Amino acid sequence: MKHISTFNSPKTGTSFRIYTIFIIIGVVIGSFITVKRDISGSLWLTQGFMSVGEDIPIYTIIKKDLIFSALFVSAAFLLGLSAVGQPFGLAMLIYRGIGIGASTAAVYALLGKRGILHITVLMIPKALAFAAISILAVRELIRSSNLLFDFYFKRDIRDDNRNSKKLYAVKFIVLIIMSLLISAADGGISYLYSAVGRR
pLDDT in tens, 87-110: 999 999 999 999 999 999 989 888
Q: Within a domain: residue 6? A: no
Q: How many domains does the chain have?
A: 1
Choice between 153 and 136, residue whose per-residue pLDDT is larger? 136
The mean pLDDT value for 112-122 works out to: 89
Choice between 196 and 143, residue whose per-residue pLDDT is larger? 143
Q: What is the distance between the alpha carbons of residues 64 and 73, in angstroms, rounded to a whole number?
A: 14
Q: How many CB atoms lie within 10 A of CB 148?
A: 17
The percentage of residues in the chain with a pLDDT greater than 70, rounded to a whole number, is: 84
> Could you tell me which of 174, 22, 23, 146 has the C-alpha nearest to residue 83?
146
Q: What is the distance between the alpha carbons of residues 160 and 191, in angstroms, rounded to a whole number?
A: 47
> Would you state the pLDDT for residue 14?
72
Residue 4 — pLDDT band, cuts 50, 70, 90? very low
Q: Domain containing 159: what range? A: 12-46+57-198
Q: What is the pLDDT of residues 28-76, one digit of tens each?
A: 999 998 887 777 678 888 898 887 655 678 888 999 999 999 999 999 9
- Please, what is the average pLDDT of the chain? 86
Q: What is the distance between the alpha carbons of residues 110 and 132, in angstroms, rounded to a whole number?
A: 27
> Would you state the pLDDT for residue 7?
53
Q: Compute the Cα dihedral for 131, 136, 142, 144 and give only its sign.
A: negative
Q: Within a domain: residue 97? A: yes
Burial class (CB in 10 A: 0-12, 13-18, 19+), 13: exposed
Choice between 63 and 158, residue whose per-residue pLDDT is larger? 63
Q: What is the distance between the alpha carbons of residues 167 and 170, in angstroms, rounded to a whole number?
A: 5
> Could you tell me which of 134, 49, 149 has the C-alpha nearest to residue 92?
134
Burial class (CB in 10 A: 0-12, 13-18, 19+), 124: middle
Residue 2 — pLDDT band, cuts 50, 70, 90? very low
Q: Within a domain: residue 40? A: yes
> Would you state the pLDDT for residue 3?
46
Q: Within a domain: residue 70? A: yes
Q: How many CB atoms lie within 10 A of CB 100?
A: 27
Q: Within a domain: residue 51? A: no
Q: Within a domain: residue 2? A: no
Q: Within a domain: residue 23? A: yes
